[in-house]
Amino acid sequence: MHWSAFSCALVPLVLIISGVSWAGAAGTAAGLAAVTCACRALLRQSERTAARIRVRETGRHRDRSAYLVSTAHGSGRHSEGRTPAD
């Protein structure tokens, strides 16, 4: 979304430098801002829908602490240099 803000500022500037009227550049900036806002709203809606579908498929939310504990213990790294068979 940072690139969209950059383009909303850069495109009108380039248009003004190339000789387009201030009103034309302002209209272009307004149009780009409207499209950016619409795309952002649609992206958020699709992310919420995907999250709801994931929750419905798993039946519950994941517990982050349990996930972190299981990966920390299952990584296979041992600081003393011992193997699990020792």
In this prediction, residue 62 has a pLDDT band, given cuts at 50, 70 and 90, of low
Give me the DSSP letters along 4-46: HHHHHHHHHHHHHHTT--HHHHHHHHHHHHHHHHHHHHHHHHH
Q: What is the pTM of this model?
A: 0.56
- pLDDT per position as a tens digit, 6-56: 888 899 999 999 999 999 999 999 999 999 999 999 999 999 999 988 888
In this prediction, residue 71 has a pLDDT band, given cuts at 50, 70 and 90, of very low
Q: What angle do CA 57, 58, 60 make, to 5 degrees?
A: 120
For the purposes of burial, counting CB atoms within 10 Å of the CB of 12, is it exposed (0-12), middle (13-18) or buried (19 or more)?
Answer: buried
